[in-house]
Structure 1
Amino acid sequence: MQIDRLIRVIRERGNPSALGLDTRVEYVPAAFARPHIEAGGPADAVRAFNFALLDGLRDLIPCVKVQAAYYERMGLPGLSCMYDTVAEARRLGYVVILDAKRGDIGATAAAYSEAYLASDAPLAADFLTVNPYLGSDGVTPFVDDCRTSGRGIFVLVKTSNPSSGEFQDLTVGDGRALFEHVGAKVGEWGADLIGSEGYSSVGAVVGATYPEQGARLRRRMPHTFFLLPGYGAQGASTKALAGCFDASGGGAVVAASRSLICAHRRAGTDDFVSAARDEALRMRAELNTALGQ
């Protein structure tokens, strides 16, 4: 199961973080990008940038989160770049999360799942983010494919964006917030997919920008692995995130995108790989200190 592999590679690297490849061509140093743009266009520059980062960080970072929107915006060349980026990350041994937030009625959800999670998926990733707003029949096709392929999903529970509370924090039914009801369903969907490391293939997206809510969910979801977006550029700190992890400092992975892929801008250098490594080392140390590791 990929959830067991994710936990083990985090342990091996001593680093519960994910490299978020939310890459825009504007983030690529101009001198590096120019020959690739001239030869093949912006998507070629993004591909080369991603490949260099993947190679340069593979000894430090266990996991990659590829945000589909940044590739779809470049059209067919961008989709080709996304496919190649996912394939290269998997080749280099990363666990790959495709952040595409798919979700639809049952038949369409099944088609999405066939594309990304099925055993013979043509766009295979190790994990896919899923939107549960349509209810169980929009999620169970993904869960079914997780059962047969060993891959996994991260279901949106409490997202990191500022307006997430407009719906997710509404009090519903028995007095719990809507995000807590969704969290309970995530636990149900994944109850029979718990691996040898004690966590289910059905995980939860929990915004790092809402650590108190994350800590509440952690107490109620002992077998659900958390994907924690919102670190760095969105303002979440590692110290506040400790409650989203389990008592052993496991059970979650923190996604960092711009803080890593744009580290060279803050450092005032075109050496984006070295700058990203420096930031990855700083982030790892900060996370381990916060988790008492």
Structure 2
Amino acid sequence: MTAPFGQRLADAVAARGPLCVGIDPHPPLLERWGLPDDAGGLRRFTDTVVDALAGTVALLKPQSAFYERHGSRGLAALEDGAARARAAGALVLLDAKRGDIGSTMDAYADVLRPGHPLAVDALTVSPYLGPGSLQPAVDTARAHGGGLFVLARTSNPDAGTLQHALVGERSVAQVVVDTVRGWNTLGWVVGDPLPDPGAVRDLASRWGPGTGSFGVVVGATLRDLDVDLTGLGGPVLAPGLGAQGGSAADLRRLFGQGGAVVPTVSRDVLAAGPDPAALRAAAARWAEQLAA
């Protein structure tokens, strides 16, 4: 049986560091690389990034939308790229931000099943229909060793209009974090009272054998960390480094040192292409900054 995603991610971080590189083949970037904005250009872009970085970073994060816009041929390029990356030893996080209920959510989570044409290690999901709506994906992840990253406290300018809204005495963002904390807590099921951070401080907050498979997305460009991640038990995906304004210093300010944080950078690395050596050098520069 496949080891749980949290364990595999912790092992990858120990071997390669925590950096996640997004694969975002948007039209201006394809043009910058001298590639056509079609499925063929998409495939060449993906293969170049995967071949350059799959052996050096812990996690690759393809953005599904940039592949979907090219129809079935784009999805075929995504499928092949994900398989290529996993064969080279990288973990693959599909950035699709799926969210629905019941059988539809279950279908979205099928990518976590071994043998699926687009088999990946983890998936980003949206809790807008209520955190409990994600339970089918949680069940699939548990059954097949997959992982989920749930949008919790994003750093786009108007995110707070929803994420700061109160549910009782907790913000919506905090309810999401507390639900994910529950998923990482043995014996907790949807419908139980949300776990109190103070009651689960023994859950791993650092990389190691106890790292859970369920994480949250918290933006690296937030001014302040306004959710309590104590005892989350799983990883924090922190997008926004580089072109979006986030720095290694911001990560340390928000999350401290040594936590189970997955810093994510896309454009700052991808802009170095298409030369594979330049892509690796750009990723290495970020890895050095994060390790400092």
**TM tier, shorter chain?**
0.7 to 0.9
Comparing 82-91 with 117-126, greater Cα deviation is found at 117-126
TM-score under structure 1 length normalisation: 0.85
Identity %: 37
Aligned length: 271
Q: CA deviation at 1:119?
A: 4.0
Contact map agreement 1:25 1:42 (CA 8 A) in 2: no
- SS at structure 2 position matched to 1:230: strand
Flag the 1:21–1:200 CA change in 2: closer, same or farther, 3 A.
same
* 2:228 counterpart residue number: 217
**Structure 1: 5+ residue stretches without partners:** 265-270
Task: Find 1:203's aligned residue among 212, 215, 219.
Answer: 215
Matched ranges for 1:8-87 at <5 A: 8-13=11-16, 15-28=17-30, 33=35, 37=36, 42-87=38-83
Kindly state the Cα deviation for residue 157 of structure 1 after the two structures are TM-superposed. 0.6
User: Counterpart of 2:200?
Assistant: none
Structure holding more helix per residue: 1
Give per-residue Cα distances to partners, 1:86-142, cap 9 Å, x unaligned. Answer: 11111111000001011102121111112x123443321100011111124421101
> CA offset at residue 154 of structure 1?
0.5
Give the CA RMSD over aligned residues.
Answer: 2.3
Q: Does 1:279 align with 2:282?
A: yes
Shift of 1:225: 0.8
The runs of 5 or more residues in structure 2 that have no matched partner are 188-202
Give 1:1-293 correspondences, 5 Å limit.
1-13=4-16, 15-28=17-30, 33=35, 37=36, 42-114=38-110, 116-174=111-169, 176-192=170-186, 197-210=209-222, 212-213=224-225, 216-218=227-229, 220-243=230-253, 245=255, 247=257, 249-264=258-273, 271-289=274-292
How much does 1:11 deviate?
Answer: 1.2
Report the Cα offset of residue 171 of structure 1: 3.3
Question: 1:30: Cα distance to partner?
Answer: 6.2
Aligned equivalents of 2:38, 2:268: Cα separation in 1: 21
What's the TM-score once normalised by structure 2's chain length? 0.85
